Amino acid sequence: MDLTGLPLLTGVIFTPLIGALLIAFVPREREALTRWLALGTALVTFAISLLLLPGFDPAATGFQYVETADWIPAFGIQYKLGLDGISLVLVVLTTTLSWISILASFGPIKSRLKEFMISFLILEVGMIGVFLALDLFLFYIFWEVVLVPMYLIIGIWGGANRIYATLKFVLYTLIGSLLMLVAILAAAFSFQAATGSWAGAFDFEQLRGFGFDPTLQFLAFGAFFLAFAIKVPMFPFHTWLPDAHVEAPTAGSVILAGVLLKLGGYGFIRFCLPLFPQAAHEWAPLIIVLSLIAIIYGAIVAMVQPDLKKLVAYSSVSHMGFVTLGIFIFQPQGMQGAILQMVNHGIITGALFLCVGVIYERTHDRTIAKMGGLAAPTPVYAAIFGFFMLASLGLPGLGGFVGEFLVFLGTFDYSPIAAAIASIVVILGAAYLMWMYQRVVFGELSDFLKGLGHHLTDVTPQELVTLTPLIALTLAFGVAPGLILDLIQMPVGEVLARVGGPLTGAAP
């Protein structure tokens, strides 16, 4: 089958949109149809994203499957898509988690199902678009497209304090992204001023070779940094995350942790470093320090969280610290580790949120103190939860380990002390996760859970369908991380060649 002629990237981006439009015309009462249509769309999208794999050449430099069309020629704005290994793995991650999330919301979403599915599919459009856009303007548009559905998902189907959480999420993200817009436009203008033409002024491939003026680099990097740092989220811009997670419905949390946070990391790698290499070197020490703080701080604060979702949220802050750390040491192992960590964090934390969702479905509670002894009535659940708990704490052989280790390794190369500080998290991570697991799963069945009686059932087959692929992926990426590393080797090399790593300077 020859797929080279087809606009696969456009296909993978807009298939969910078609599904969303179809769902819009489904009568409100036909809930089953809505559900299956949404799942079907997500699965088709997933299939299309898998079709990208056979034709992808990991050894090739530059972007593949590039599609270009003029959009607003007056400003040289193009509809330009393309992917390299980094985008590819993240796109497949997105399509995977999307269908899983949709399936996982079959039960929990009871009101306004149609709107939910439409929002979710549009969200998928935005996420995939961000990973594939090669035009800065287009990238920005997809970046914002992500915002609105997520705002609705948290705000409509969220918990008690959902409105506060969702407004916080949106406003926080907007502050960053709007300044990024200014920076994008400034960069494009600076290109235009130098070349005398708008042609290619938003084209990433043109811009990344263009040496921006140092002051502009510094400021524009700052704006991009703010946008991405809020999304990641980096300390101290992280406080929206626990609120958003706690209020979001399960599927929202899965996608939030699984994909949305990755948008920031991706943005750093794809845009910040190649576009503003000098500024990246100037900013890197600060970012490394913030990452180290995030890693340790997130873990310590996670320790005392009373709410399961908050705990996982703070653990995300800690885990995403590795991503930014790995990126900003400008070192091949570090950056590969960061990308691997993004993928694995997406899978594992997504799965952890699914696990929390399973409890929540049965108890309508997430307070750790009320739990206890789940191992006896729900052994399969306990095993799966335990599996992901171990994966999250970086058990070798499972997904989380290799990425974390590569980041440590890269960091050690740059600064052994930084690596030592960061690696304290292996203790803290084990501590908060195992303590949580002990309180929830071990011990005698708590009175609260006893009160539920026969409602406390083990995982349903449907829940098992959502969790099993994630188990398989966690194992696969732990045993054979080469599946991902081989894909990202070349693009990471390219990014680093542009940014001119490794980071030098007075590091202890």
Partner 1 sequence: MPFFTEAPAEAVATTGSSLDQLLVIALLALPLAGFGLTALVGRRLGARAWIIAVPAIIVVWLAALYLIYQTLIVGAFGDAGMHFRLYEWIPAGDFHVDVNFAVDALTAVMLIVVTTVGMLVHVYSIGYMAHDPGRWRFFAYLNFFMFSMLLLVLADNFLLLFVAWELVGLSSYLLIGFWYRRRSAALAAKKAFIVNRVGDLGFGLGIMAIWTTVGSLDFGEVFTRLPGQLESGAIQPWMMIGICLLLFAGAMGKSAQFPLHVWLPDAMEGPTPVSALIHAATMVNAGVYLVARANPLFAQAPEALFIVAAVGIFTCILAASIALTQKDIKRVLAYSTLSQLGYMFAALGVGAFVPAIFHLVTHGFFKGLLFLGSGSVIHAVHDEQDMDRMGGLWRRIGITHATMLVGSLAIVGIPPLAGFFSKDEILGESFKLGFVWVWAIGIVVALMTAFYMFRLMGKTFYGPSNVDPHTEPRIHESPRSMTVPLILLAVPSALIGLALGLPPENGTIHHWLEPVFRPLDEALHHGAADYQILGIDGFLLGASVAVAAVGMIVAWRLFGFFRLGPRPALVSSVTGRLRGPYVFSLRKWYFDELNDLLFVRIGGVVARGLWWFDVHVIDGAVNGVASLTQGTGRGLRLVQTGRVQNYALGIAAGLLVVAVGYLIVAR
Partner 2 sequence: MSQNELLALLPLILVVGLAMAVVIIDIVLPDRDDLISAIASGGLIVTLIVIAVCGPLPGGVGLLPREGVQLFVDSSGSGVIVRDQLTAFLDLTFVVIALLSLLFAVDYLKPRGLPMAEFTATLLFAISGAMVLGSGRDLLILFLGLELLVLPGYMLAGYAKRDGLSTEGAIKYFLLGSFSSAIFLFGLALVLGFTGSTRVAAIADVLAGVAAGNAPLSLGLAMGLALLTTGVAFKIAAVPFHYWTPDAYQGSPTPVTGYLSVGPKIAAFALILRLFVDALAPLKADWLPFVIVLAATTMTLGNLVAVTQDNIKRMLAYSSIAHTGYMLVGLAAYAGAAAGSPAEAQGLEALLFYGAIYSFMNLGAFACVAALQRRPGVTSQIASFAGLGRRAPLLGVAMTLFMLSLTGIPPTAGFFAKALVIIAAVNTGGWVAFLAVLMMLNAAAAAFYYLRVVVYMYMREAPDGARPVSIGNFTRAGLIVSAALTVVIGVVPPVTTAVIDMAREAARALL
Contact residues toward partner 2 (CB under 8 A) are 70-75, 79, 137, 140-141, 144-145, 147-148, 151-152, 155-156, 162-163, 166-167, 170-171, 174-175, 178-179, 181-182, 185-186, 188-189
Amino acid at 404: E
- Three-state SS across 269-291? HHHHHHHCHHHHHHHHHHHHHHH
- Among candidate residues 319, 345, 359, the one with its CA nearest the CA of residue 440: 359
Omega of the bond leading into 54 within 30 degrees of 0 (cis): no
Neighbours of 384 (CB within 10 A): 23
Scanning 14-22, 151-159, 245-253, 389-397 for contacts with partner 1 by CB under 8 A, the matching segment is 389-397
With contacts defined by CB under 8 A, how many residues of the chain interact with partner 1?
58
Q: What minimum distance in Å lies between the beta carbon of 396 and partner 1?
A: 4
Q: Which residue has tokens 């600076």? A: 190
CA distances from 332 to 337, 338, 487 (A): 8, 10, 13
Dist. CA 310–CA 298, nearest whole Å: 11
> Pick from 22, 147, 289, 430: which binds partner 1 (CB under 8 A)?
430
Among 61, 197, 367, 438, interactor with partner 1 by CB under 8 A: 438
Q: Nearer Cβ to partner 1, position 90 or 393?
A: 393
Return d(Cα 273, Cα 349) in angstroms, integer: 27
CB of 229 vs partner 1, minimal distance in Å: 13
Contacts of 462 (CB under 8 A, 6+ apart): 103, 106, 107
Residues 153-172 that bind partner 1 (CB under 8 A): 168, 171-172
Find out whether 437 and 395 touch, Cβ atoms under 8 Å: no
Nearer to partner 2, 137 or 381 (CB): 137
Q: Judged by CB under 8 A, which of 300, 464, 476, 507 binds partner 1?
A: 300
Q: Are 314 and 376 in contact (CB under 8 A)?
A: no
Binds 174: which of partner 2, partner 1, none (CB < 5-8 Å by kind): partner 2
Q: If DSSP states are collapsed to H, E and C, what string results for 69-94?
A: EEEEHHHCEEEEEEECHHHHHHHHHH
| Nearest-10 crossing angle of helices 162-195, 240-247 | 130
Smaller CB distance to partner 1: residue 211 or 397?
Answer: 397
Q: Residue 438 or residue 504: which is nearer to partner 1 going by CB?
A: 438
Could you tell me the smallest distance in angstroms from the CB atom of residue 439 to partner 2?
33
Structural element, H or E, at residue 256: none
Question: Which residues share a beta bridge with 307?
Answer: 367
Per the CB < 8 A criterion, the answer to whether 320 and 233 are in contact is: yes
User: 36 touches which of partner 1, partner 2, none (CB within 5 to 8 A by kind)?
Assistant: none
Residue 22 as a binder of partner 1 (CB under 8 A): the answer is no
Q: Whose Cβ is closer to partner 2: residue 171's or residue 479's?
A: 171
Counting contacts by CB under 8 A, is residue 387 touching partner 1? no
Nearest distance from residue 171's CB to partner 1, in Å? 8
In angstroms, rounded to a whole number, what is the distance separating the alpha carbons of residues 393 and 415?
23
Cβ nearer to partner 2, comparing 114 with 345? 114
Nearer to partner 1, 44 or 428 (CB): 428
Residues in the chain, total: 508
Q: Does 408 bind partner 1 (CB under 8 A)?
A: yes
- Contacts to partner 1 by CB under 8 A: 168, 171-172, 236, 238-240, 297, 300-301, 303-305, 332-333, 336-337, 373, 375-376, 383, 390, 395-397, 401-402, 405-406, 408-409, 412-413, 416, 419-420, 423-424, 426-427, 430-431, 434-435, 438, 441-444, 479-482, 485-486, 489, 492-493
